Amino acid sequence: MADRYKMQDPRQQYPEPPFPKQPQPAPGLAKKLEPPADHGEDSYEGSGKLSGRKALITGGDSGIGRAVAIAFAGEGADVAISHLPEEQPDADEVIALIEKAGRKGISLPGDVSEESDARDLPGRAAEELGGLDILIVNAGHQKFFESFEKLTSDDFDTTMRTNLYALFWMTQEAAKIMPAGGSIVTTASTQAYDPSASILHYAATKAGIVAFTKGLSSELIEKGIRVNAVAPGPIWSPLNPSGGSPQEKVEKFGGWSTFGRPGQPVELAPVYVLLASQEGSYITGEVYGVTGGAGIA
């Protein structure tokens, strides 16, 4: 049994700050994180909950998306991951881990902030995997600004296109091909409920994701497709060291949570598995918080 399944004090289960400063150029790579993040590479144990399913995960190369890809493969799903071309080194590692689990892994490089790329993804995944049952919309853009007046229109636009427009484009196309029993899971944030001034544009997209998810769930249940969201708190991933937060905050990252540490990507994976699997058959239009005690109210 992996150590993470043994009873232990959750406050000391994973590393706590201080962490070293570790600036990376955006979008950042998981392999450069110090300490390394736990995506479940050696710790996630599946039990066949997604046997035979076909899943597309955006931002599947690192962070939460990587952990979900590993968990889904461990649960018996074939998995396609989308990512930026410059994230290929991380993506290659994820594909190798999916294949190690005995499942088919597909890498789909592109830029979901471009409408053509985003709209093409569900069809490309379905063609490569032989169908599409699960869509995890996880790719996101976050860049901090020292003050509101320094927030640029260009970055505001990039954030909206990556986090909200891509959600609209992909779910609209996926809904055309997903069967009854399919599941869409979006990735919101505690920022939707408690926004930080330095990333107001990012927080606005996360609030939009909550509203979009709830509204879409009412529409797609008429097709037998469930739609839910996961709202993480501070999770250790390349998002923050690569421009999502100032390095001073990276050094203390997650220390303000009631656990005194950030969450690890693998700690969110079981929630995505629940929402994607038939065990979540009576769940739609919900937002599940994995926040380290911060809540989402």
The helices-and-strands tally (H runs, E runs) of the chain is: 8, 7
What is the model's pLDDT at position 5?
83
Neighbours of 21 (CB within 10 A): 12
> Which domains does the chain show, CATH number per domain?
45-290 (3.40.50.720)
**Which positions ≥6 away from 9 have C-beta within 8 Å?**
none
Sheet containing strand 105-109, edge to edge, reads 105-109, 78-83, 54-58, 134-137, 183-187, 226-232, 287-290
* 202 included as an active-site residue: yes
Q: Where are the alpha helices (DSSP H) in the chain?
A: 63-74, 88-100, 115-129, 153-160, 166-177, 200-220, 247-251, 269-276
- Cis amide prior to 18 (ω within 30 degrees): yes
Element spanning 267, H or E: none
Query: Which residue is catalytic, options 165, 193, 202, 272?
Result: 202
- What pLDDT digit, counting tens, does each position of 19-36 carry? 999 999 999 999 999 999
Give per-residue pLDDT as tens, 35-90.
999 999 998 999 999 999 999 999 999 999 999 999 999 999 999 999 999 999 99
Confidence check: pLDDT of 1 > 60: no
The three-state (H, E, C) secondary structure of 7-31, written as one string: CCCHHHCCCCCCCCCCCCCCCCCHH
Rounded Cα–Cα distance for residues 113 and 140 (Å) = 9
Q: Please check the confidence at residue 297 and state whether its pLDDT lies above 80.
A: no
Q: Which of 168, 186, 203 is closest to 272 using CA atoms?
A: 186
Considering only CA atoms, give the Rg of the chain.
18
Q: How many beta carbons lie within 10 A of that of residue 252, not counting itself?
A: 14
What's the pLDDT at 115? Answer: 98
Q: Measured between alpha carbons, how far apart are the two ends of the chain, in Å?
A: 35
User: What CA–CA distance (Å, rounded) separates 95 from 33?
Assistant: 19
Tokens of 96: 């190798």
The answer to whether 21 and 32 are in contact (CB under 8 A) is: no
Q: How confident is the model at residue 3 (pLDDT cuts 50, 70, 90)?
A: confident
Q: Reduced to 3 states, what is the DSSP secondary structure of residue 110?
A: coil
pLDDT tens digits, residue range 184-219? 999 999 999 999 999 999 999 999 999 999 999 999
